[in-house]
Structure 1
Amino acid sequence: MEYSVRVKCRKMLESALQMDDLDDLAEGSGHIKNLAFQLEQAIYDELYDLEVKYKNRIRSRLSNLRDPKNPGLRDKFLRGIISPKQLAKMTPEEMASDELKQMRQQFVQDSIHKAQKAEMAQGTKTDLFKCSRCKKRNCVQLHTQDGDEPIMTFVMCEECGNRWKT
């Protein structure tokens, strides 16, 4: 039973690696079959069983290798830039296309910027402070006091987002 599941997974991986035009890969289908074998073996070696984690890992690799919006992953794997052991352990974030990685990074940056702005929105605009990064005086200050501790003043530059404590 175990052997047949692994053979089926290898065939599915091999199918996911197939390309319309194999002319630029001298080894052709033998190379692809070997890579599929090595990838499945690397996944099995890491997880040691055919339970849910193994099957989910295989599904994840199949999905990412078949993704028409991410041909770079398959290409890098076929050309040896990414080894079977590396691909076996990659996270979804690492397998994502460059475009998706950029979108995620932009989303994170936007979220951080919005959170900083919301936090400082309750502060007071001031030109008493000069930003050490951009040298402008367009700042917001916020005073906080926690229990019996002294009042702390936080300043954020509205031009570049630089933050500091005074």
Structure 2
Amino acid sequence: MAVNNLRKQSDQEEVINLAKVLIKGWKKLLPQPGGGTPAAKAKEKASNGDSGNSSDQGRGNGDSSKTISRQSSSASSHSFSSTNLDGIRERCKQMISNALKVSIPEIEGEEDLQDPEELAGIIEDCIYTEFCNTDNRYKNRVRSRVSNLQDSKNPELRRMVLNGSIAPEKIASMAAEEMASQAMKQMRKNFTKEAINEHQLAQTEGTRSNLLKCGKCQKKNCTYNQMQTRSADEPMTTFVFCNDCGHRWKFC
């Protein structure tokens, strides 16, 4: 079935002819209706004239034909699945290879750069070995490598992979944060630092005291700040915040 489909889809005369010859050869090996192969059937007729035995053997061979047909169909399905899997992997290898081939002016004259095709094969093989299939996890991992390797703002990653500073086995499993450019890493670091500072400021702003009592919840878990809101010869204004209920008030 698989070879016949190939024959129908192909536009090359040589492939079509070879497929026809192969199919005809296979047909000669298959049991014929009411008996075995043509040669076996002729021999059987010459040696055995009993029609009843021939009929029983024909039914047996018919069952054998069905079994062979099922096995052939199963093999064809397995062959199609393997072909589809290989096609997906080849496309992924090509995507990684194309990402590695993006021009980097700074290293065009450098020597000892590794072959992008070879590197792409190793990277893809490591990813496939980890997941053992080509599901969404596999595809997302490949897309992440491709996106970061071909990023015009992050040529350093591509250069380090090509010159061997980053092994293909490592780039296959690196997290997105590890593959980011130095500028992006610094930006994330600044954002994290600002978030920590804001959190600490919110927690430590003001002076905690148990001498002040909240008029709303009647608890003494309060924080206060003092600010000069009037003229210099006037006392400062005290702003109080209740850490339990969130009530705010001020007194002079």
TM-score of the superposed pair, with normalisation by structure 2: 0.47
Structure 1: give runs of 5+ residues left out of the alignment. Answer: 125-140, 144-150, 153-166
Please state whether the residue corresponding to 1:75 is helix, strand or coil.
helix
| Structure 1 residue 89, shift from structure 2 partner | 0.7
What is the one-letter code of the residue matched to 1:117?
L
What is the one-letter code of the residue matched to 2:110?
D
What is the one-letter code of the residue matched to 2:92?
C
- How do residues 84-123 of structure 1 correspond to structure 2 at under 5 angstroms? 84-121=168-205, 123=206
RMSD: 2.0
Does 2:95 match 1:12?
yes
- Relative contact order (alpha carbons < 8 A, sep ≥ 6): 1 or 2 greater? 1
Check whether the contact 2:113–2:162 (CA below 8 A) recurs between aligned residues. Answer: no
Check whether the contact 2:92–2:124 (CA below 8 A) recurs between aligned residues. Answer: yes
Does 2:130 match 1:46?
yes
Check whether the contact 2:177–2:185 (CA below 8 A) recurs between aligned residues. Answer: yes
TM-score of the superposed pair, with normalisation by structure 1: 0.70
2:110 to 14, 20, 24: 24
Check whether the contact 2:112–2:163 (CA below 8 A) recurs between aligned residues. Answer: no
Q: Deviations over 1:8-66 (max 9, x none)?
A: 110111111103354424567xx111001011011111111100000000000010001
What is the one-letter code of the residue matched to 1:51?
D
Structure 2: give runs of 5+ residues left out of the alignment. Answer: 1-83, 211-219, 222-252
Q: Distance in 1 between matches of 2:169 and 2:95?
A: 18
What is the one-letter code of the residue matched to 1:12?
M
Q: Distance in 2 between matches of 1:34 and 1:77?
A: 12
| Structure 1 residue 142, shift from structure 2 partner | 6.5
| Structure 1 residue 7, shift from structure 2 partner | 0.5
**Structure of higher CA gyration radius:** 2
Q: Distance in 2 between matches of 1:19 and 1:142?
A: 62
Q: Distance in 1 between matches of 2:185 and 2:111?
A: 27
| Structure 1 residue 119, shift from structure 2 partner | 1.1
Give the percent of matched residue pairs that are identical in Structure 1 and Structure 2.
38
What is the aligned residue count?
126
Check whether the contact 1:38–1:84 (CA below 8 A) recurs between aligned residues. Answer: yes
Q: Flag the structure with higher helix content.
A: 2
Q: Distance in 2 between matches of 1:142 and 1:74?
A: 57
